[in-house]
Structure 1
Amino acid sequence: MLDTVRSVLPASAVAAAPEAPGEGNVGMYRERIVHATLRPTEVSQVQELVKVFGGPGTPCGLHAISTGRNWGLGSREPATDNAVTLDLSGLSRIRTLDLDRGFAVVEPGVTQGALAKQLSGTGRILNVTASSAHTSVVGNGLDRGVGLRRQRVDDLAGLEVVLPDGDLAHVGWWPEEHRSTAVYSHGLGPELTPLFSQSNLGVVTAAVVRLLPRPEAQRTIRLSFTRNSLAGATDAMRRWVSQGLVGGVLKVYDVVSAELYGGRVGEFLAHISVDGTDASARAVARVIVEEAHGTGLFTEVHDSAVGTGSDDVVVRMVESAYAGDPDNNDALLEATLGQTAEHIDAEGTGWLFFLPMVPFSGQRIAEAHELLGRVFEETGVRAGCTVNALSSDIIDFVVSIKFQRNDLAAGQAHSALERCYELFAERGFIPYRLDIDHAEWVDRLSTDSRALQLTRDLKTFLDPNGAIAPGRYA
């Protein structure tokens, strides 16, 4: 099969064996058997490669990655053994940047740092995540990552997809060369774009990414509170979110997560973004500050304009990211793991993530923290948590587990991760992303077996030979 591949790609783009065997991944998941890495630079090459692997008698699966920085969930490793990695980082063009209509067409190798840099000084910003500036916009969006403004899947207006037979399809909204249409992803008839999120039905080679208007003014309110005030403080913040006072994703770091990320420790710390015109941002910030003082729940209330300076690495990152700038993200990454983005998988501290959704209420979030306490009692591993409020009803409860990079500590960390899956699922707190060692949990967590079978029927119809990302979410 590699002989056929070499007729599609230059020799330099085909690595017949792992180039750095034993390089590992930051989560210390079991390394899968990967026979080769292919690095196309053109969509036409991707089409030809998918045809090769999509044919009958395919001896191994094709595992597509964008930049491979799926840290804490498996990095660049596939879900199953016997795979060939399709590394799309060489597809790195920003094809279109339309500031008037608010979209960019980008390929999988475009990082959030590269796109944000193109938007600097314009009237648009990118919904950036708290992860490294070197992570992929497309890859993270397809896996439903969470930005500082909203869940990133909501940024995807349209996709360019190579189907298992090698055909190219544009689903959702796609710009037309000879006329200007409204950026409306739903279109007519059944909406197809969501089919390719957390999907192994095709290989995405480009996406239409929505860009947000840049706020005229932006302020960040920081609120500190103790564990005893967790439920009450959460309900107070939920009220502000539900009444439209909060711009973007409200973030709360617990004591452990603040320590893990290199910030100040001692109490919970919430970050609330307020933006709009200068007058409206000041007025709303004043309301939140006055009400926060009035609750008696918060030990410290701080209001400042973004960019006024702070020596706390977490504060600097959050304020910049709210403004669409990921430049401070990597300083936080290095403070957390002691390594740059290029070396995280090879050396340094270990890192795991567990990502459940939890109802946004003081009682339910307190319950989630109690579960983390049980994990600590049973395994000796103290996990950190960051709350990301996606709306007034639901939060992304990011559980992070940092560990020393040795077999004993890794075993303990993975035992803690396993207990998180078990305990949170029992309580109804279901993860919205799975790591590679828990791919089979899609069966255990599915609310309707017939719906899951429908997904598998679509897979069988489109990809009868199971060539694309076997075992991934299906």
Structure 2
Amino acid sequence: MFAKNDSVRGAAMAALRERLGNDAVLDREEQLDHYGRTTLPSAPLPAAVVLGKTKNDVVACVEIAKQFGLHLYPISGGKNWGLGSACPTTEGQIVLDLSGMNRILEVNEELGYAVLEPGVTQGQLYQHLKDKNIDLWLDATGAGPDATIIGNLMERGYGHTPNGDRFHNSCAYEVILADGTILETGWAHNKESRVSNLSKTGLGPSIDGLFTQSNLGIVVRATIWLIPKPECFTAYAFRLESQDDLCATIDALRPLRSLGVINSVVHLANDYRVISSHRRFPHDQLSGEDALPESIRSKFREELGLGKWNVLGGIYGTKASVAGVRKSLKKSLKRITRPIFIDDKKLSLFDFVYRYSSWVPPVKKLKAKVESGRSAISLLKGEPVRDHLGGSGWRSKLTWEQKPTDPLDRNDGVIWITPLVPLTSSACNEFLNLIEPIFERHGFEPLLTFVMISERVMCCPTTICYNREDESETVRANACYQDLLKHSMNHGFPPYRAGIQTITSLANNDPYWNFVARLKGELDPKKLIAPGRYARS
């Protein structure tokens, strides 16, 4: 509950306004509705919103929460689309919006790191590096330039570069605990340390992980590691025409990943995933209860030059090392497909050709494919782009021309589930044979991407797109999600992150979650911080 009664509520809001200022506390209906927008079928509304702009603001909020029995739900930007966005886990929580804490505190070019506050966005850091001529690349996700870096880090998200595992390429968290204590992890707590931003672990237990996917504290600063701009960069891409080819490719790439020949994240997206970023579901030809028929699916594939599966990765290094990786890729894939290699020189050459022959039909047709590839390659080079956000509106009835870039502004219907799958052909085959019939049964298209996040495991961001304005379709989408979650868990494919509607059902009564509950009880006995978030409610 927000507060025991109206008088307590009024006193709490007055205290927040006194400490943070009138403009920092939002409680008008339209303001709460704005923060309560969701791509899910439904989500709780916040009881109020507080805008924290400094570390002291966060400490003040925690102190007032303790005094009045409030529950704070911290967000860094609220771009957690498909998993809850800015919405709290339960009614009665106050959203603590940290997007105003957006300072880039330090960038060290020599050692390759940046120290950030939680509101710093991908676009902001990218532009900073560009403006200052700093030869470092960040790891970018497909969430666009307005998504925050620490927000994704706190969910242990993945990007595209050699630093694609964001959690393992971060350190030195500054955390506000529920009693107001300011805790620094790793070596950051040692003021004489010269390696605070360079080493993930300090001396003793490593506790960074306690504050990701958790409600044990509020992270107000973190260090992320960046990659030096390589001497040579080349993207590689190829199409696969069958599930058998996909499985064979996984077995072919795994040894290269294990040996470090491929040192970055590889994305293997099905045609539905790519089509959704360039086309809209043909509502004029189909009812909402139908999935896309094969005839239209194959037509879209042909128009966009897609395979049933489409693979993209990057090679980073010296000219000699990149040449060696190219050779290894071609050799490993020779019985399956032939990869193409794309770099800035090839893109510039196409631009030159297009400038003088744009009227030639084959060149004109190739233009859209090149621009799509250019956008994907930008991500591999650490440049966040908006192009891939359009996919969440696959089942929207708005046209491309009508659609803003934020899925919440478009009222997109999106539910995300993110199973982990062993990096083997047999596991891939089993997983696809498990979930594709579930999508078919509920009348939706499976938008899938296998992401090789390590040499042993893939995550599979799986998207249910639906029309939120269609009540029956919304009900079916939720049923589809519940089926996917149940069957993927039962078959050993658990999600690597969870939405606000899910975690309490996953946090069961076993020693692991009992231990988490004991930590919560010790650090935050009044459950001031995000009750029910990655913990039992």
Helix, strand or coil: the match of 2:346? coil
Q: Decide whether the 8 Å contact of 2:52 with 2:101 is kept in 1.
A: yes
Q: Residues 9 and 129 of structure 1: is their aligned pair in 2 closer, same or farther, counting only changes over 3 Å? A: same
Helix, strand or coil: the match of 2:47? strand
Superposed displacement of residue 253, structure 1: 0.6
**Match status 1:260 vs 2:270:** no
- The residue that corresponds to 2:49 in the other structure is 37
Helix, strand or coil: the match of 2:386? helix
What per-residue deviation string (whole Å, max 9, x for no partner) do you get for residues 334-368 of structure 1?
36535444x42132432221101110011111111
- Which structure: larger Rg? 2
Helix, strand or coil: the match of 2:506? helix
Equivalences for 1:25-424 in 2 at 5 Å?
Answer: 25-55=37-67, 58=69, 60-120=70-130, 121-149=133-161, 150-174=164-188, 180-181=194-195, 183-227=198-242, 228-262=244-278, 264-292=305-333, 294-295=334-335, 297-298=336-337, 300-306=338-344, 308-309=346-347, 311-312=368-369, 314-326=372-384, 329-334=385-390, 336-337=392-393, 338=400, 339-341=403-405, 343-406=406-469, 407-424=471-488
Task: Calculate the TM-score normalised by the size of structure 2.
Answer: 0.82
- The residue that corresponds to 2:498 in the other structure is 434
Q: Matched residues in 1 for 2:487 and 2:234: separation? A: 38
Q: Decide whether the 8 Å contact of 1:201 with 1:459 is kept in 2.
A: yes
What per-residue deviation string (whole Å, max 9, x for no partner) do you get for residues 220-269 of structure 1?
11121122422212211223222322131011011211212226544211
Identity among equivalent positions (%) equals: 26
Helix, strand or coil: the match of 1:207? strand
Q: Matched residues in 2 for 1:340 and 1:97: separation? A: 32
Q: Decide whether the 8 Å contact of 1:104 with 1:210 is kept in 2.
A: yes
Superposed displacement of residue 22, structure 1: 4.4
The number of equivalent residue pairs is 463
Q: Decide whether the 8 Å contact of 1:358 with 1:429 is kept in 2.
A: yes
Q: Which residue identity is paired with 1:10?
A: G
Q: Decide whether the 8 Å contact of 1:97 with 1:104 is kept in 2.
A: yes
Q: Matched residues in 2 for 1:308 and 1:10: separation? A: 54
Q: CA RMSD in A?
A: 2.1
Q: Matched residues in 1 for 2:46 and 2:368: separation? A: 43
- The residue that corresponds to 1:19 in the other structure is 30
Q: Decide whether the 8 Å contact of 2:187 with 2:203 is kept in 1.
A: no
Superposed displacement of residue 199, structure 1: 1.1
Q: Matched residues in 2 for 1:169 and 1:18: separation? A: 36
Helix, strand or coil: the match of 1:230? helix
**Match status 1:8 vs 2:23:** no
Q: Decide whether the 8 Å contact of 2:41 with 2:468 is kept in 1.
A: no
Q: Decide whether the 8 Å contact of 2:392 with 2:407 is kept in 1.
A: no
Q: Residues 100 and 31 of structure 1: is their aligned pair in 2 closer, same or farther, counting only changes over 3 Å? A: same
Gap runs ≥5 in structure 2: 1-11, 279-303, 348-366, 394-399
Q: Decide whether the 8 Å contact of 2:17 with 2:25 is kept in 1.
A: yes
Task: Calculate the TM-score normalised by the size of structure 1.
Answer: 0.92
Q: Residues 185 and 467 of structure 1: is their aligned pair in 2 closer, same or farther, counting only changes over 3 Å? A: same
Q: Matched residues in 1 for 2:473 and 2:218: separation? A: 36
Helix, strand or coil: the match of 2:82? coil
Q: Residues 147 and 18 of structure 1: is their aligned pair in 2 closer, same or farther, counting only changes over 3 Å? A: farther
Q: Decide whether the 8 Å contact of 1:18 with 1:37 is kept in 2.
A: no
Q: Which residue identity is paired with 1:467?
A: L
Helix, strand or coil: the match of 1:467? coil
Helix, strand or coil: the match of 2:172? strand
Q: Matched residues in 2 for 1:261 and 1:26: separation? A: 20
Q: Decide whether the 8 Å contact of 2:235 with 2:377 is kept in 1.
A: yes
Q: Matched residues in 1 for 2:108 and 2:188: separation? A: 12
Structure with more of its chain in helix, by fraction: 2
Helix, strand or coil: the match of 1:6? helix
Q: Residues 194 and 28 of structure 1: is their aligned pair in 2 closer, same or farther, counting only changes over 3 Å? A: closer
Q: Decide whether the 8 Å contact of 1:53 with 1:62 is kept in 2.
A: yes
Superposed displacement of residue 204, structure 1: 0.9
Superposed displacement of residue 432, structure 1: 1.1
Helix, strand or coil: the match of 1:253? strand
Deviates more, 1:26-35 or 1:464-473: 26-35
Q: Residues 351 and 6 of structure 1: is their aligned pair in 2 closer, same or farther, counting only changes over 3 Å? A: same
Helix, strand or coil: the match of 1:187? coil
Gap runs ≥5 in structure 1: none
- The residue that corresponds to 1:464 in the other structure is 525
